[in-house]
Structure 1
């Protein structure tokens, strides 16, 4: 079988406690990385696809769900990144409250940098382009534009919970027992 036909066989990766390493983006490994981890005895296979891969000596059904044998603790303090700010704010502009795809969102410094504001969890919010331009270099009080919620540093758990609100387009049926979205899985 050609490699191209195996592109649609990712494995859902669970931590040793059987929870996904991350929800958004969903923790997935390519079939190659998964097979390598199986042979190195770093994971337990919990579910498999019907699809097989073969070598001259071995035939193996591709794993669809794996669990790490060693527990990886979540970072206590998530990294301050643009993506994590968007995830903290649920991909919603904190001024108009509309949701947008990530490529249509920007950072906004609540207290502008030109007025001494810093680039920190407590001073940066997600904004759409229109609201960011409207607010510009002004203090929120001067133009009556206040964020809907006060910006703060989220925990890793909060980011995971927010990520659960954004299921990916494709969820394999074998992942159903390991993910806890309120949406039905499609065939």
Structure 2
């Protein structure tokens, strides 16, 4: 089946009209990056019977024998158990540390620092690596925290996936479709 997008949808950005993907418990698969599928992948998942459509855009896709509104929120039919602990990556270290230098609080020119330098036997692990801006990283160099008089603001630990999700909510994407909001912030405290 060939699907053609209506003229209005074509004029959107190249990424245009993604669908928010929820797990079977109606929670996003991830918050940062936000779990989004292209409209093409969302439509394919609908046809394969892998998802339920929860909300739709006004834009329509059609073929000679079929027409449907594009899904804006979809929910997996089968629950995908998230990993308990995230992968140890530079991005996840930054996310754990909320994209702030753990020495001065700057969010500019971030890199990572070994609290106990490798030249002193420090390992590249969750418990020894923190986000650091380049000036602080250069100032600390290969010194131990006491010698440099520089200690991380928080003790570096291995975060859970949930902790990273909670931090990810602090950095919402530039575009949030109104149909997504109930699913992204459903557990946020309500204002009186």
TM-score normalised to structure 2 length: 0.89
CA–CA distance in structure 2, aligned partners of residues 109 and 31 of structure 1:
42
Residue 185 of structure 2 is matched in structure 1 by 180
Q: How many residues end up aligned between the 2 structures?
A: 179
The counterpart of 1:159, out of the listed 156, 164, 170, is 164
CA–CA distance in structure 2, aligned partners of residues 127 and 133 of structure 1:
10
Alpha-carbon offset, residue 98 of structure 1: 2.2
CA–CA distance in structure 2, aligned partners of residues 64 and 142 of structure 1:
54
Residue 128 of structure 2 is matched in structure 1 by 123
Equivalence map 1:21-100=2 (5 Å) = 21-100=29-108
After TM superposition, the runs of 4+ consecutive aligned structure 1 residues lying more than 2 A away are 1-7
C-alpha RMSD of the superposition: 1.4
Unaligned runs of 5+ in 2: 1-5
TM-score normalised to structure 1 length: 0.92
Residue 138 of structure 2 is matched in structure 1 by 133
CA–CA distance in structure 1, aligned partners of residues 85 and 30 of structure 2:
15
Deviations 1:130-187 (A, max 9, x none): 10111011100101100001100000110000001001111111112111187xxxxx
Unaligned runs of 5+ in 1: 183-187
Residue 5 of structure 1 is matched in structure 2 by 11
Deviations 1:104-129 (A, max 9, x none): 21110001111111000000000001
SS of residue matched to 1:154: coil
CA–CA distance in structure 2, aligned partners of residues 157 and 175 of structure 1:
19
Equivalence map 1:99-114=2 (5 Å) = 99-100=107-108, 104-114=109-119
Alpha-carbon offset, residue 99 of structure 1: 2.6
Alpha-carbon offset, residue 5 of structure 1: 3.1
CA–CA distance in structure 2, aligned partners of residues 105 and 72 of structure 1:
33
SS of residue matched to 2:75: strand
Deviations 1:27-46 (A, max 9, x none): 11000000000000000000
CA–CA distance in structure 2, aligned partners of residues 34 and 5 of structure 1:
19
CA–CA distance in structure 2, aligned partners of residues 73 and 132 of structure 1:
37
